[in-house]
Chain A
Amino acid sequence: MAVTAARPPPVRTPPDQAREAPAGARRFWVAAILVLVGAILAGLFLGPAGLSWRGILLDLVGRLPLVHVHSGLTSTERAILWQIRMPRIVLGGLVGWMLAASGASYQGAFRNPLADPYLLGAAAGAGLGATLIIAYAPTVSGWPVDPIPLAAFCGAILAVAVAYVVATTADRSGSSATILLAGVAVAAFFTAVQTFVQQQHSDSLRQVYSWILGRLGTSGWHDVWLVFPYVALSSAVLLVHRRLLDVLRVGDHEASTLGVDTARTRLVVVGAATLGTAAVVAVSGLIGFVGIIVPHTVRLTAGASYRRILPLSMIGGAAFLILADVVARTLAAPAEVPIGVITAFFGAPFFVVVLRRRVRT
């Protein structure tokens, strides 16, 4: 599959895209931002604690400078709003933003529609890192930083680095097919080690399992500040390279004749996407499908240029994950449904609808 997928898809060349009417582009931006705002509002107002809408609104207004209103919320309700719901929305937004951006970037860098942020072993590496700590670190209190996210972060970076080094030493041209196959091999290997460690420590099974399914539920502002710098840096690098991703779409050989160093571009894009993915996975666990369905939904509705796909995927990914998290905490309230289940269960059919409508027209 990697071989066929690596062939450049029959797409219009970038100059065609530039001539698309700018007025048509604006509606996609407006729509994406409206969806994001709607998602944030849903995130603020919906939850099992059942805070009153009026109280939330007044409390939000009261936070504005020079405004003094009494919201009527109790201190517990304010804590729920500001210390539980708010960071959950922001973190969900950052994670969705980053996973969608990484997915879009991987798809562009490898010219492969099936690419997602976990393609080169980031998920397997993060899973192994987290499992090793859960299984072998006897105590985590007393550490200056929580070692599980740190190990997950390092594992994700390590797995992708190994895949990249293996591929580029085997194939000097750095062809995308070689890198993808190396990524598949590394991911399988890391997953095998992770499964082995987990089976040897069956008492850690539930903890590993709940980490893998992904969660935003127990996070606070601390997690937000932890990932924010990585997401910002990674997003900036990816946005700077969005034009080069458009050039890569014509194929490595053609891009080279246009003066683009394809191997270097791919390395920088994959590096930035991996850094961001590793950071968000470290705090949220492995949340699937966001990185694949959001960029494709954007591509199918707003066009194939990465100048549009990348930023719109970021906004769309943030909105999608915030909404998925709202469903995760309201569907079976006051019980939680793992967010990875929601992203797949609702995301996949939604994507099929988009795909069918697009293919018909």
Chain B
Amino acid sequence: MSLFSTHQSFTARALALGLLLAACGSSGSTSGSAHLATTTVAPAAQTTTTLPAYPVTVSSAQGQVTLKSQPKAIVSLSPTATEDLFAIGAGPQVVAVDDQSNYPPNAPRTDLSGFKPNVEAIAAKKPDLVVVSEDGGLSAALTKIEIPVLVEPAAKSLDDAYSQVKQLGAATGHAAQASQLVASMRDQISQLVASLPHRAQAPRIYHELDQTLYTATSSTFIGQLYRLLGADDIADAADKTGSGYSQLSAEYVVNANPSVIFLADTKCCQQNLAIVAARPGWSGIGAVKAGAVVALDDDIASRWGPRIVDLLRTMTQALAKVPAT
């Protein structure tokens, strides 16, 4: 054992973590292939009282999954999928959700982890459907013991988010409610977009993921929401590798002078307007001077479930206040 080891193990671990985080960040890129549910279920036009016909085959990120009968014991290891399931009326079929699934409050939260899933602990819940956002070998392991797994990875676009809702609807026998939810989300979002005044110059925004100035660019899911609202993300210049995420220099953020700062690190890192204003050099930023530092809910801002409508509403309200130049 080398005397270096203390330091090297730190570096190695830091690198390993880096890869892990990079994997988390890029997992969204594979989700572009998420398909609309192909299903034998009754079309949405029919009433929701119609009993769904099983078996049902759903295409999710890891391929075709066939459910022999309507699942009655669903385990969700993805906070977004949990929100989706409850929003489409499949909540009563959910028996356990992971430790990060804190919404809706009545979801049956357990100490199961979607981050380091334990196959035995999941199997102990005797599920007839498991929903995860990252596979990591879990679907292979659970399929061996004949538990179907749906992989619903981080959405890359709003369409991804919609198709995941529909996949979950098809799988759980709530296709009609899923279609209604998607239609309602589409409606509300287009109303929000239409409510914004037209501007000659797009307002510049900075979306903060943590206080070391990690940020998301327009190529990420969250970044696309800003683009949808006609805002210009200051991080776009920094993302040369196209990973969608980067850590900005403080002097760049100050110099870029965003009109609105969105903090998605209010829960993790307790950031707020006062703390941001006290950062060296930040008091001169337009957003800080105007008080346009918007506290987002970290959870909502990192998920792609039904509450993106709430998120977009918060963003819209803040952007509407930006004075025309």
Residues of A within 8 A of B (CB-CB), count: 65
A206–B18 CA distance with the chains assembled, in angstroms:
9
A168-199 with Cβ < 8 A to chain B: 180, 183-184, 187-188, 191, 195, 199
Q: In A134-193, which residues have CB < 8 Å from any B CB?
A: 139-141, 180, 183-184, 187-188, 191
Given A47-B251, A213-B14; A205-B212 close (CB under 8 Å): no
CB of A112 within 8 A of CB of B116, answer no
B240 within 8 Å of A by Cβ? Answer: yes
Interfacial residues of chain B within 1-58, with CB under 8 A of chain A in the complex: 1-7, 9-11, 13-14, 17-18, 20-21
Partner of B239, one of A83, A118, A335, A336: A335
A47 engages B249 (CB within 8 Å): yes
- Do A83 and B280 touch (CB < 8 A)? yes
Interface assignment of A31: CB less than 8 Å from any CB of chain B? no
Q: Does B270 interact with chain A (Cβ within 8 Å)?
A: yes
Stretch at the interface among A217-225, A227-235, A295-303, A352-360: A217-225
In the docked arrangement, what's the CA distance between A83 and B209, Å?
Answer: 23
Q: Majority SS of interface residues in chain A?
A: helix
A188→B247 contact, CB < 8 A: no
A331 to B259, CA, bound (A): 27
Question: Is A85 within 8 A of B251, CB to CB?
Answer: yes
Q: How far is the CA of A191 from the CA of B283 in the complex (A)?
A: 38
B interface residues, how many (CB within 8 angstroms): 52
Q: How far is the CA of A294 from the CA of B10 in the complex (A)?
A: 20
Contact among B6, B209, B283 with A184 in the assembled complex (CB-CB below 8 Å): B6
B3 lies within 8 A of A180 (CB) = yes
Q: Are A334 and B269 in contact (CB under 8 A)?
A: no
Q: Is B92 an interface residue (CB 8 A)?
A: no
A92 at the interface (CB under 8 A from B): no
Kindly list 8 other residue pairs between chains A and B, CB separation below 8 angstroms, not including A47-B251, A76-B284: A76-B255, A84-B250, A118-B6, A119-B3, A140-B270, A141-B275, A199-B116, A213-B14
**Interface positions of B (Cβ within 8 A of A):** 1-7, 9-11, 13-14, 17-18, 20-21, 100, 113, 115-116, 209-214, 237-240, 246-252, 254-257, 268-270, 272, 274-275, 279-281, 283-284
| 13 contacts across the A-B interface (CB closer than 8 A) | A47-B251, A48-B249, A49-B254, A114-B2, A141-B270, A141-B272, A203-B268, A206-B21, A217-B213, A329-B249, A332-B240, A334-B252, A334-B256
